[in-house]
Amino acid sequence: MDMNEAAGTAAVLRAAWAKAFAARDLDALAALYAPDVLFFGSTPELFRGHAGVHAYFAGLSPDVALEAFEEPELVCVAPGVFATAGFWRFRFGAEPRRYRLTWVVALRDGGWFIAQHHAARCDIQAAGVQTCAKVAKN
């Protein structure tokens, strides 16, 4: 797999994820993940598998909306496996929140699936300085 193929696959997954999230289509969201996915969302619990993904998204408040995502950084880990890391912006009611989001994406049974999902909120300090700024590329 080359970086262009990984970038294209990541773009397709992000678009499908955003569409399913906006529609609150829990089955479509779960289908983007590997059957044995490890999933950390915006809550402290670790969720596993399709049932866990479904439970996580079912537990989110209906006022949570995706605002935007930045083009992620990509690295090919092994044949048929790549990782992404980037920033996503959500709105929780009136409150905007920025998250670091990483995915490990794996080719399984002829399809690409998210095998690991980890989201971590970028907290705002009292002085108003964001604690997770975009890191410059080396």
Rounded Cα distance between 30 and 34, Å, is 8
CATH number of 3-121: 3.10.450.50
Q: Is the model's pLDDT at 13 over the cut of 70?
A: yes
Rounded Cα distance between 75 and 11, Å, is 14
Domain locations in the chain as residue ranges: 3-121
Q: Are 62 and 24 within 8 A, CB to CB?
A: yes
Span 42-66, pLDDT tens digits: 889 999 999 999 999 999 999 999 9
For the chain, the helix, strand and coil percentages under 3-state DSSP, each to the nearest 5: 30, 45, 30
Can you give the pLDDT at residue 136? 41
Span 81-135, pLDDT tens digits: 999 999 999 999 998 989 999 999 999 999 999 999 999 998 655 445 445 554 4
Can you give the pLDDT at residue 2? 83
Strands 81-92 and 95-108: antiparallel
Non-local (6+) Cβ contacts of 121 within 8 A are 42, 97, 98, 99
CB atoms within 10 A of CB 103: 26
Q: Are 41 and 53 within 8 A, CB to CB?
A: no
* 64's tokens: 């949570």
Q: What is the mean pLDDT of residues 10-36?
A: 96
Q: Is the model's pLDDT at 35 over the cut of 50?
A: yes
Can you give the pLDDT at residue 70? 87
